[in-house]
Amino acid sequence: MSVKYIFITGGVVSSLGKGLTSAAIGYLLEMRGVKIAMLKLDPYLNVDPGTMNPFQHGEVYVTDDGAETDLDLGHYYRFTNTPLSRASNATSGQIYDTVIKKERRGDYLGKTVQVIPHVTDEIKEKILACSKQEPNIRVVLVEIGGTVGDIESLPFLEAIRQFRYEHPQDCINIHLTYVPYLKAAGEVKTKPTQHSVQALREIGIIPDMILCRCEEALSQELKEKISLFCNVPKDAVFDEKDVDHTVYEVPLDLHRQKLDERICQTLHLQTHEPDLTRWNQLLHAVLNPKGKVVIGIVGKYMDHQDAYKSVFEALHHAAIDAGVGLEIRKFESDRIVEEGSVEKAIGGCDGYLVPGGFGERGWEGKVLTAKYCREKKIPYFGLCLGMQVLIVEFARHVLGLKEAHSTEVNPNTSEPVVSMLSQQRGIQDLGGTMRLGSYPCAIKKGSLAEKCYGANLIQERHRHRYEFNNAYKKAFEDKGMVFSGTLDQGQLCEISEVSGHPWMLGVQFHPEFKSKLLDAHPLFRDFIRHIATGKGLA
Ligand code: GLN
């Protein structure tokens, strides 16, 4: 049986939620019993997003095999069971890097190296490689980043045109477009969609289905108009309206319109009706919460809604799991110091989370947050940098080491309680050189971490250069710090907990990357449950 390919392009504007839509389609196919794989193709020239500022790009999602990838892979993980690895994301930078290396090696045997066929061949290789990640993959969903009409995405579009030409029975194109409502005219406009489909046709791609992002569901009349102008059958025009409550409504909405059925028919895939019972149950919990918990996130990129995407989602999964509502309050950590009083700046939440981050800005505000939580016995959850902050705060105010710091912020500190990982010293390049990917972590018996995980050996994903400095381990333990997770057969402290505090825990890894709607992460789950129980909600 040949592998089938679904190419998903975007038109009119960016930020339409192509990643989320692709993930929702992936989920529906899986529920129909189809084994899928997903690939994101990004047109930018960075080799990966690892060196990009979160304000530019949002979160960097890390896979088990240590690839720093586009945040859309987080959507794929949260909605589906697709394999996720280095083979799941490719950028123009990566493709060109491979082509140029081949050219330098002489692999092209004296030929002129060109976008067509050499770059497009490389893109097609990536698509094929994605289908071979695991046995029995039946459908590969390929999301093309950017917007049709951009110069930089042209090689990708040309590659998928060729791919379909070479595999005519096995491919479909879905075009996600925007159908705006013009308030002043009181009308919904289809013209931008017509133009974007026209741009696709000029390249030689004819969409099989059109998905229209819109504020409200489209009338039959409008769908027929789009069908006529864009040359797709009437029942191949779908709407994807803004969700009322949560993005997890998207697959149900698409299923109601029979999108998954249409895809399977067009690709001649034999499947069964999807069983969406559990998903529906969880959505019921979202719509009918019992009270709410309020979590303050104290970070550095709070104004960018995608910079901590997986953290927000993991908190939501945990709240849904506990059957409670969730309010997230966002605090810019550098403003806390300016406010003068921590209570005034961030007070009033049921618990606080300090996420990952880099560099000096906002450090002291995070340390003040940890101090506030420790002293007032308010739940605190530190992720990566959030654990390093917990360590520095404890050193300064419990151990009395006033100069304690991370060498990331103060390389000359006399008390380097957080310092550079030994394997990191001497590395010059910034791209792809951190401690990245999945590592085993042994969990201490009787610890809070053990209660959360219910296991003594776990695997979590990392992305950092600094770590707790083991020279201080005994001093910390003497004052009540419990290092409840350590690298299996290694020295690194991966989890730290403050004993005597109801819930104060930091992790050197990124648990947020491994939380799903159907499987909330154990640490997030316990953090929220602990708070909900304290409020009499769970
Ligand atoms: N900047 C810190 C380090 O490199 C933390 C990284 C992070 O939070 N991902 O160790």
Q: Which of 358, 390, 461 to mutate to test the pocket of ligand 1 (most atoms within 8 A of CB)?
A: 358
Q: Which of 301, 463, 467 to mutate to test the pocket of ligand 1 (most atoms within 8 A of CB)?
A: 463
| b/e per residue 198-209 (b: at least 16 CB within 10 A) | ebbeebebebbb
| pLDDT for res 49 | 86
**pLDDT of 130 over the 90 cut:** yes
**pLDDT of 426 over the 80 cut:** no
Kindly give the number of the ligand 1 atom that is closest to the alpha carbon of 356: 8
pLDDT, average across residues 377-385: 98
| pLDDT for res 192 | 94
Kindly give the number of the ligand 1 atom that is closest to the alpha carbon of 466: 10
Which tokens belong to 501? 């505090």
The CA angle 350-354-355, to the nearest 5 degrees, is: 130
**pLDDT of 353 over the 70 cut:** yes
pLDDT, average across residues 427-451: 89
Contact at 8 Å (CB) between 471 and 347? no
Higher pLDDT, 287 or 295: 295
Q: How many residues does the chain have?
A: 538
Q: Which of 301, 383, 384 to mutate to test the pocket of ligand 1 (most atoms within 8 A of CB)?
A: 384
**What residues contact residue 467 under an 8 Å CB cut-off, 6+ apart?**
418, 419, 420, 421, 492, 493, 508
d(CA 334, CA 298): 9
Query: 């640490």: which residue's tokens?
Result: 523
Kindly give the number of the ligand 1 atom that is closest to the alpha carbon of 421: 10
pLDDT, average across residues 80-105: 96
In this prediction, what percent of the chain has a pLDDT beyond 70?
A: 99
d(CA 295, CA 64): 28
Ligand 1 mean position to 4 CA, how many Å? 40
CA-closest residue to ligand 1 atom 5: 385
Kindly give the number of the ligand 1 atom that is closest to the alpha carbon of 386: 8
| b/e per residue 246-284 (b: at least 16 CB within 10 A) | ebbbbbbbbbebebbebbbebbebebeebeeeebeebbe
* Full 3-state SS string of 243-301: CCCCHHHHHHHHHHCCHHHHHHHHCCCCCCCCCCHHHHHHHHHHHCCCCEEEEEEEECC
Helix (H, G, I), strand (E, B) or coil at 378: coil
CA-closest residue to ligand 1 atom 7: 356
| pLDDT for res 221 | 93
Ligand 1 mean position to 438 CA, how many Å? 15
Ligand 1 mean position to 463 CA, how many Å? 7
Neighbours of 379 (CB within 10 A): 23
Helix (H, G, I), strand (E, B) or coil at 151: coil
**Would you place residue 304 in the very low, low, confident or very high pLDDT band (cuts 50, 70, 90)?**
confident
**pLDDT of 137 over the 70 cut:** yes
Q: Which of 466, 469, 510, 512 to mutate to test the pocket of ligand 1 (most atoms within 8 A of CB)?
A: 466
**pLDDT of 72 over the 80 cut:** yes
Lowest-pLDDT range of 45-54, 231-240, 356-365: 45-54
**Would you place residue 427 in the very low, low, confident or very high pLDDT band (cuts 50, 70, 90)?**
low
pLDDT, average across residues 227-248: 91
CA-closest residue to ligand 1 atom 9: 356
* Full 3-state SS string of 61-119: EECCCCCEECCHHHHHHHHCCCCCCHHHEEEHHHHHHHHHHHHHHCCCCCCCCCHHHHH
| pLDDT for res 301 | 85
| pLDDT for res 303 | 79
**pLDDT of 339 over the 70 cut:** no
CA dist list (Å): 504 to 99, 362, 374: 49, 20, 7
**pLDDT of 428 over the 70 cut:** no
Give the CA count within 13 Å in the CB-facing half-sphere of 416. Answer: 15
Lowest-pLDDT range of 173-187, 194-208, 429-443: 429-443
d(CA 182, CA 180): 6
d(CA 90, CA 33): 27
Kind and range of the H or E element at 416? Answer: strand 415-420
Residues with CB under 6 A from ligand 1: 356-358, 384-385, 408, 463-466
Give residue limits of the domains in the chain: 4-281, 289-534
Question: In 134-193, which ranges are E strands?
Answer: 139-144, 171-178, 181-182, 187-188
Q: Do 4-281 and 289-534 show the same overall fold?
A: yes
CATH number assigned to the domain covering 4-281 = 3.40.50.300
Higher pLDDT, 262 or 360: 262
pLDDT, average across residues 478-500: 94
| pLDDT for res 286 | 87
Chain Cα centroid distance, residue 105: 36
Which tokens belong to 351? 């618990």
pLDDT, average across residues 122-138: 95
Lowest-pLDDT range of 283-287, 459-463, 496-500: 283-287
The model's pTM = 0.93
Helix (H, G, I), strand (E, B) or coil at 493: strand
CA-closest residue to ligand 1 atom 6: 464
Nearest to 239 by CA among 516, 111, 256: 256
Kindly give the number of the ligand 1 atom that is closest to the alpha carbon of 418: 10
| pLDDT for res 115 | 96
Ligand 1 mean position to 434 CA, how many Å? 9
Contact at 8 Å (CB) between 129 and 95? no
Domain 289-534 is classified in which CATH homologous superfamily?
Class I glutamine amidotransferase (GATase) domain (3.40.50.880)
CA-closest residue to ligand 1 atom 1: 358
> Tell me, what DSSP letter sits at residue 492?
-
Query: Catalytic residues, which ones?
Result: 384, 510, 512
On average, the pLDDT of the chain sits at 93
CA-closest residue to ligand 1 atom 8: 356
